[in-house]
């Protein structure tokens, strides 16, 4: 592919492709005369850069991540990298102004309302005064909390407990996967025949794990209620 064809395939402008190449985020093209030609591996590199950018990685963080990958990494290896980075649950993060937030909330939010939504993880206030909305469902949940009969402080503390324990669980699960699956794969020299199988297993692991966590938590709460009543 020419750079114009690569831009059409990826939806990334020629200017940005040149910028990424200049930053070393894209392997150099093969030259045919004065024309640079790009292949499927270049396409996979660009898709990985786009995935990292969509996840909120800064340019420097993207560079740091890609530096750990060999320039010879082909489409299959990069597909595995994308599978590793795919969000475990869908996220629809938007950056909107306060007026749009009020419109979606269906009311004018007071400063303490906004503060509560921040504490509940529904929004993040940015330096320019805009807010980052962490999904419509999170906003709906946050507004329901504000309208509930329970004190907002109770919900804040509940959210903090959930964040604390789920963060620890996520770190433990990631370490287990790193130590028992990814590192042995790397130690074996990243065999090509394992890449597709590993990417497929990872895509299955994510929803199964999320459902397992929800089920286990529900059972734990039920067990705790029975024990307290007993």
219 and 174, same domain (yes or no): yes
pLDDT in tens, 28-42: 888 888 888 998 888
pLDDT in tens, 67-114: 877 767 777 777 777 777 777 766 677 889 999 999 999 999 999 999
Q: Where is the domain boundary, 38, 61, 85?
A: 85
16 and 49, same domain (yes or no): yes
68 and 135, same domain (yes or no): no
81 and 97, same domain (yes or no): no
For residues 112-145, one letter each, b for 16 or more C-beta atoms within 10 angstroms of the residue's C-beta and e for the rest, the string is ebbebbebbbbbeeeeeebbebbbeebbeebbeb
Number of domains in the chain: 3
Please state, in angstroms and rounded to a whole number, the distance separating the CA atoms of residues 77 and 192. Answer: 8
14 and 77, same domain (yes or no): yes
Strand residue runs (E) in the chain: 30-32, 35-37, 93-96, 123-125, 131-134
Predicted local distance difference test score (pLDDT) of residue 207:
85
Question: What angle do the packed helices 152-177 and 136-147 form, to 10 degrees?
Answer: 150
74 and 104, same domain (yes or no): no
Predicted local distance difference test score (pLDDT) of residue 91:
67
52 and 79, same domain (yes or no): yes
Range(s) of the domain holding residue 19: 3-85
Q: What is the pTM of this model?
A: 0.64
Q: Where is the domain boundary, 127, 148, 169?
A: 148
192 and 129, same domain (yes or no): no
68 and 141, same domain (yes or no): no
Please state, in angstroms and rounded to a whole number, the distance separating the CA atoms of residues 216 and 164. Answer: 17
Report whether 3 contacts 14 (CB < 8 A).
Answer: yes
């Amino acid at each position: 592919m020419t750079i114009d064809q690569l831009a059409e395939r990826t939806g990334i402008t020629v200017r940005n492709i040149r910028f990424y190449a200049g930053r070393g985020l894209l392997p150099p093209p093969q030259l045919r005369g004065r024309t640079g030609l790009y292949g499927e591996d270049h396409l996979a590199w660009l898709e990985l850069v786009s995935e990292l950018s969509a996840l909120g990685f800064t340019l420097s963080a993207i560079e740091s991540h890609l530096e750990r990958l060999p320039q010879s990494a082909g489409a299959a290896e990069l597909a595995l990298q994308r599978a590793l980075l795919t969000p475990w649950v869908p996220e629809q993060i938007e950056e909107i102004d306060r007026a749009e937030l009020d419109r979606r909330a269906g009311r004018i939010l007071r400063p303490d309302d906004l503060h509560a939504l921040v504490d509940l993880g529904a929004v993040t206030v940015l330096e320019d005064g805009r807010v980052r909305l962490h999904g419509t469902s999170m906003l709906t949940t946050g507004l329901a909390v504000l309208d509930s009969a329970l004190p907002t402080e109770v919900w804040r503390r509940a959210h903090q407990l959930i964040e604390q324990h789920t963060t620890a669980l996520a770190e433990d699960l990631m370490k287990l996967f790193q130590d028992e699956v990814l590192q042995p794969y790397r130690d074996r020299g990243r065999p090509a025949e394992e890449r597709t199988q590993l990417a497929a297993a990872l895509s299955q692991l994510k929803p199964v794990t999320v459902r397992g966590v929800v089920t286990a938590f529900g059972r734990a709460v039920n067990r705790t209620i029975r024990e307290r009543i007993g």
